[in-house]
Amino acid sequence: MIGSDCHSVGNKILELFFATEGFQVVNLGVMVSQQEFVNAAIETNAKAILVSSLYGHGEIDCQGFRELCIEKGLDPIILYVGGNLVVGKTPFSVVEEKFKKMGFDRVFPPDVDLKKVAALLRQDIREKFGQEAVPEENQPGVALRKHPAAN
């Protein structure tokens, strides 16, 4: 959860879902800065960073995120963002356009089907890094590792 967002339940649901889908998950917890996301991605040789925000200020918290990734040598990296990303009743198409202009590869509303997200993530990893980088689906017993900064 980026910025000052402290919604930990959704964060845990995402962690468990993606781990069950076979992805190696490093859960940074809540109220995580852009720099902490980038540091963890570098440390773990991540192929993707998935950012979640539910408190409506994702637009502010995510400004300059792609640029920071590039500055720190994370290029290529897949960037996904989802949740309740802006304050107010903004049509999702407008929200999606804003975040894509910020450099996010994919933008998801709060009610997205997570199976769809997992399938898109596999597709994007395959296209950017090759088939060998794609985790197999539904691999039980995937080791989860909490990042030292995680709550």
The structural domain count of the chain equals: 1
Q: Pick the residue with more confidence: 114 or 57?
A: 114
Q: Provide the whole-model pTM.
A: 0.85
**Position 1 in a domain:** no
**Position 20 in a domain:** yes
- Which candidate in 5, 61, 105, 124 is catalytic? 5
**Position 43 in a domain:** yes
Angle between helix 114-129 and helix 8-20 axes, rounded to 10 deg: 60
**pLDDT, the chain, mean:** 86
Contact 2, 61 (CB under 8 A): yes
Q: Pick the residue with more confidence: 94 or 3?
A: 94
For tokens 């000052």, what's the residue? Answer: 4
CATH number for the domain including 118? 3.40.50.280
Please compute the mean of the pLDDT values over residues 53-77 and round it to a whole number: 93
pLDDT one-digit tens code per residue, 10-43: 888 999 999 999 999 999 988 889 999 999 999 9
Range of the domain at 29: 8-130+141-146
Q: Is 124 labeled as catalytic in the residue annotation?
A: no
What's the angle, vertex CA 109, arms to CA 45 and CA 142, rounded to 5?
Answer: 35
**Position 135 in a domain:** no
For residue 124, what are the CA distances in angstroms to 4, 57, 95, 101, 145? 29, 26, 21, 18, 23
**Position 113 in a domain:** yes
Structure confidence at residue 140 as a pLDDT band (50, 70, 90) = very low
Instruction: Report pLDDT for 138.
Output: 52
Q: Is 7 labeled as catalytic in the residue annotation?
A: yes
pLDDT one-digit tens code per residue, 90-117: 999 999 999 999 999 999 999 999 999 9
> Does pLDDT of 124 surpass 60?
yes
**Position 99 in a domain:** yes
